[in-house]
A and B are shown apart, each in its own frame.
Chain A
Amino acid sequence: MIVRRLLRRLLHTILLLIVVSAVWFALLAASPGDYFDLQRLDPRVSPETIQKLRVDYGLNKTWPIRYLDWLRSVTHGDMRVSIVYNQPVTQLLPPRVANTLLLTVAGTLLAWAFAIPAGLWAGVKQNTSIDRLFTLVAAVLIAIPELLLGILLVYWVATNTHWPVGGMHSTRTNSFTDVLQHLLLPAIVLAAGLFPVLFQHLRTSVAEASSAPFVRSAKSLGIPPHRIWLRYVLPVAANPMISLLGLSIGGLWSSSLLIEVIFGWPGLGPLFVEAVMAKDTYLVLTPVICSAVVLAIGNLLADLFLLWNDPRIRTTAA
């Protein structure tokens, strides 16, 4: 049963990837000019050379044909060559993906680590001063765009402290703590974007679950409060959070691309911006596809967790 579910999910993901990559291909093709238009300004390069390069890279064909060519080579594991770097995309990717993954995971963990205790606390003690404080913080964070928050943080930290604000390594050091120090600021900004969403959902679902009729019934049976919390409230309140986990992983991956650019983090983000600027189609497609894959994996994880947590879903799935 689960295997069939997984297979169906896999099929959906593949369809999604095909549609997403086709849309990006079409968008890039629709925007005027290509990589070699910039080269044409250089008087040392003759128009014939440029024309020959265009043919070599296949840019003289229409986009649907180029797209089908690309699809065919992708099925053989070849992501084509980046024009800007003049390197196969498959060689450029792994270190970049690893760096972005590191940042995303750090941001996710940080956000959940703060949101779970805060959300539980605020959900239990609704309308107390602690609840209002957390809610205020969440409202402020959700109102500030991550881009602005990132820039403000870089400005403040750089002018007031000696904490590293850009890149991933200090010069000539490559220690783990050094990477962690560089990781902290972008991870905080990432987490600040996710925290309010998680907090508000958790607060609401805890408040809702704790006022459910079955909780009142459990109280009337004299079940001690801590057991009511562990057994009755939390498992039910966890459901919406699990669905959110999948979405949050996918969402964070996308916003980490922006933050990487601000903090000079050598992940997929800067690569993506560069590729878009240079109209390096094959290179643009990789971060796009990666982020679709991450979103799909996140949702799949959430699905499996839900199956495990909620017997009602197990019954419908069976």
Chain B
Amino acid sequence: MSFGCTRFALCNLDLSINAGETVALIGPSGSGKSTAAWAIQGLLPQNAQVTGSIRLCGEEVVNAPEKTLARLRGHLVSMVPQDPVAALSPVLTIGRQMQEAAKGQPRQAIVDMLSRLGLPPEFCHRYPHQVSGGQLQRIVLGQALLCKPQILLADEPAAALDSTTRTAIIQFIKDLQCELGFALLLVTHDTQILEGWAAKIVEIGEAVSLPKVQSTNQSFPVETLRVSHLSKTYPRVKALESINLQLKTGARLVISGESGSGKSTLAKCLAGWETADSGTVEFSSRKPQLIPQNPGESLNPFWETWEVVAESLRIQGNSKPDRKKQALLWMDRVGLPNHLTSRKCGTCSGGERARLAIARALLACQCDQQTPATLIFDESFSSLDLNLRAQILNLLAQLQQHWPLAYIVMAHDEQLSQNFASQRLTMQQGRLSA
């Protein structure tokens, strides 16, 4: 399977799923897991060339006419895509989109599905941008299940969920699998959720466990960030309620909390992406840099990678060779190979794009070693596999030894907060608690 004629996304994958069976497809990011899932439905971009054979209940998918494929999709095979934000139309209500997927089932079926996913029925009237990433992930799952498929393709169905919800959702998928008897192809980099579940595991590449990051003692911690009485209300939701926070260099603050508890809003208010209703955010020198929830979406797909990484230098008026040199340096430090420099961002994998965004933020803060800076990560690690995540966390720890940096990490990942955090806080309905 290859795109255009230069790069192979996936080579020689052999896979078979029996009715009602669960098969897990695992591997590091960029190994072509998602590509395989889309190929099964014949939904790869037009410039993709697929060779070989994919058979769904005896029907050939490779090079099949669009009409045949449209007939197969939905009732025979449906998919939970990796990025739930991009998977929903921004101008239709959630209820409307679920109704489209339900194809004529009564409205009660949709409300039932929402409540089984732990979401209240008034979500029907909300638009995707009014709902958090984790909630969207559940909605996308609900859509795929409303189709009552014989094969469900789930691409990282639990990546954006906090641990409590994740366990509940995985149990929910298992229950429904028993009830409806569909076969499941689970695409994931998280080997933990597979325990006692997948009958067959197909591996692309190799998985590595997360090593413990050594905590370092900064000699003179300086205060970088002070937040007092920060509040923010959206038209229907109270997102932040009187947040107080102090941060010194060398700190690694992990804020955990269920999806929809206001973590993203806090991150945006701290970085100045959103204006709070009341309260103050004081920072010692440089505005905190935010690496967003879907870092890949914050990169211009038509720019070459080095241009994106060094954009802050262009604003400061640095020359092109200098910008390229700096960009290469930082891309190397976040573990991106050299040959990636001349590629367009749009052709990079999800993990590579996450690292590009991190490199860009680090470069924007690096300018002066004397001035403290704060980096905020909003679930930026959830799309990385364990191997890369460990590399990035190690890198972040190393950077703290050289530069006066403080990190705030919004995460639902328990393991991350155990190994990485120097401070831990929990967020619940817009309030912070220890």
Interface of A toward B, CB cutoff 8 Å:
211-214, 216-225, 227, 231-232, 235-236, 309-312, 315, 318
Tell me if B3 counts as interface (CB < 8 A to partner A): no
Min CB–CB distance B340 → chain A (angstroms): 23
Bound-state CA distance A91–B81 (Å) is: 65
Min CB–CB distance B115 → chain A (angstroms): 20
Min CB–CB distance B9 → chain A (angstroms): 16
| B147 surroundings in chain A (CB, below 8 A) | 221-222
| B431 surroundings in chain A (CB, below 8 A) | none
Bound-state CA distance A231–B92 (Å) is: 8
Please tell me if the beta carbons of B91 and A236 are within 8 angstroms of each other in the complex. Answer: yes
| B78 surroundings in chain A (CB, below 8 A) | 220-222
Contact of B70 among A216, A219, A309 (CB under 8 A): A219
Bound-state CA distance A217–B140 (Å) is: 9
Which residue of B has the minimal Cβ distance to A228? B100
B140-160, CB < 8 A from A:
140, 143-144, 147, 153
- Residue pairs across A and B with Cβ atoms less than 8 A apart, 19 shown, are A212-B86, A213-B83, A213-B87, A214-B89, A216-B38, A216-B81, A217-B79, A217-B81, A217-B88, A217-B140, A219-B70, A221-B74, A223-B101, A227-B100, A231-B89, A231-B96, A310-B91, A311-B91, A315-B129
| B123 surroundings in chain A (CB, below 8 A) | none
- Beyond the given A211-B45, A309-B91, please list 10 additional residue pairs across the A-B interface where CB-CB is below 8 A: A216-B81, A217-B81, A218-B101, A219-B43, A220-B144, A221-B144, A222-B73, A222-B78, A224-B70, A236-B91
Tell me if B177 counts as interface (CB < 8 A to partner A): no
Q: A315-B235, A318-B235 are in contact. Are A221 and B143 (CB under 8 A)?
A: yes
| A222 surroundings in chain B (CB, below 8 A) | 70, 72-75, 78, 103, 147
Min CB–CB distance A128 → chain B (angstroms): 13
| A225 surroundings in chain B (CB, below 8 A) | 70
Please tell me if the beta carbons of B91 and A235 are within 8 angstroms of each other in the complex. Answer: yes
| A311 surroundings in chain B (CB, below 8 A) | 90-91, 93, 127, 129
Tell me if B41 counts as interface (CB < 8 A to partner A): yes
| A220 surroundings in chain B (CB, below 8 A) | 38, 41, 43, 73-74, 77-79, 81, 144, 153
Bound-state CA distance A224–B101 (Å) is: 10
Which residue of A has the minimal Cβ distance to B66? A225
Give the secondary structure class of B's interface: loop
Give the secondary structure class of A's interface: helix
Tell me if B130 counts as interface (CB < 8 A to partner A): yes
Min CB–CB distance A225 → chain B (angstroms): 6
Query: How many residues of B are counted as interface, with CB atoms below 8 angstroms from the partner's CB atoms?
Result: 35
Bound-state CA distance A220–B76 (Å) is: 10
Min CB–CB distance B40 → chain A (angstroms): 10
Min CB–CB distance B180 → chain A (angstroms): 16
B57-106, CB < 8 A from A:
70, 72-75, 77-79, 81, 83, 86-93, 96, 100-101, 103
Min CB–CB distance B232 → chain A (angstroms): 14
| A216 surroundings in chain B (CB, below 8 A) | 38, 43, 81
User: For B41, B83, B87, B89, which residue has the most chain A Cβ atoms within 10 angstroms?
Assistant: B89
Please tell me if the beta carbons of B127 and A312 are within 8 angstroms of each other in the complex. Answer: yes
Please tell me if the beta carbons of A232 and B89 are within 8 angstroms of each other in the complex. Answer: yes
User: For A213, A225, A310, which residue has the most chain B Cβ atoms within 10 angstroms?
Assistant: A213
Min CB–CB distance A314 → chain B (angstroms): 9
Q: Mark B220-258, 1 if CB is under 8 A from A, else 0.
A: 000000000000000100000000000000000000000
Please tell me if the beta carbons of B100 and A312 are within 8 angstroms of each other in the complex. Answer: no
Which residue of B has the minimal Cβ distance to A316? B129
Which residue of B has the minimal Cβ distance to A234? B91
3 tightest Cβ-Cβ pairs between the two chains A and B = A222-B74, A213-B86, A217-B87
Bound-state CA distance A231–B100 (Å) is: 9
| B74 surroundings in chain A (CB, below 8 A) | 220-223
User: For A216, A224, A225, A318, which residue has the most chain B Cβ atoms within 10 angstroms?
Assistant: A216
| B96 surroundings in chain A (CB, below 8 A) | 231
Bound-state CA distance A220–B88 (Å) is: 12
Which residue of B has the minimal Cβ distance to A127? B46
| A318 surroundings in chain B (CB, below 8 A) | 235
| A309 surroundings in chain B (CB, below 8 A) | 91
Bound-state CA distance A44–B278 (Å) is: 77
Bound-state CA distance A35–B144 (Å) is: 76
Bound-state CA distance A221–B76 (Å) is: 10
| A315 surroundings in chain B (CB, below 8 A) | 127, 129-130, 235
Which residue of A has the minimal Cβ distance to B149? A222
Min CB–CB distance A219 → chain B (angstroms): 6
Min CB–CB distance B45 → chain A (angstroms): 8
Bound-state CA distance A30–B75 (Å) is: 75
| A235 surroundings in chain B (CB, below 8 A) | 89, 91-92
Bound-state CA distance A214–B93 (Å) is: 13
Please tell me if the beta carbons of B90 and A312 are within 8 angstroms of each other in the complex. Answer: yes
Q: A221-B143, A232-B92 are in contact. Are A312 and B70 (CB under 8 A)?
A: no
| B101 surroundings in chain A (CB, below 8 A) | 218, 221, 223
Bound-state CA distance A236–B88 (Å) is: 12
Bound-state CA distance A213–B83 (Å) is: 9
Please tell me if the beta carbons of A218 and B86 are within 8 angstroms of each other in the complex. Answer: no
| B92 surroundings in chain A (CB, below 8 A) | 231-232, 235
Which residue of B has the minimal Cβ distance to A215? B89
Which residue of B has the minimal Cβ distance to A311? B127
Please tell me if the beta carbons of A214 and B87 are within 8 angstroms of each other in the complex. Answer: yes
Contact of B89 among A211, A219, A224, A236 (CB under 8 A): A236
Min CB–CB distance B68 → chain A (angstroms): 12
Bound-state CA distance A213–B72 (Å) is: 19
Which residue of A has the minimal Cβ distance to B81? A217
Bound-state CA distance A312–B128 (Å) is: 9
Bound-state CA distance A144–B345 (Å) is: 38
Q: Mark B297-316, 1 if CB is under 8 A from A, else 0.
A: 00000000000000000000
| A211 surroundings in chain B (CB, below 8 A) | 45
Please tell me if the beta carbons of B89 and A221 are within 8 angstroms of each other in the complex. Answer: no
User: For B93, B96, B147, which residue has the most chain A Cβ atoms within 10 angstroms?
Assistant: B147
| B43 surroundings in chain A (CB, below 8 A) | 216, 219-220
Min CB–CB distance A246 → chain B (angstroms): 19
B277-322, CB < 8 A from A:
none
Which residue of B has the minimal Cβ distance to A221? B101
Bound-state CA distance A222–B70 (Å) is: 6
User: For B72, B90, B103, B235, which residue has the most chain A Cβ atoms within 10 angstroms?
Assistant: B90
Bound-state CA distance A225–B68 (Å) is: 12
Bound-state CA distance A224–B70 (Å) is: 7
Bound-state CA distance A213–B38 (Å) is: 12
Bound-state CA distance A214–B77 (Å) is: 17
Bound-state CA distance A231–B93 (Å) is: 11
| B140 surroundings in chain A (CB, below 8 A) | 217
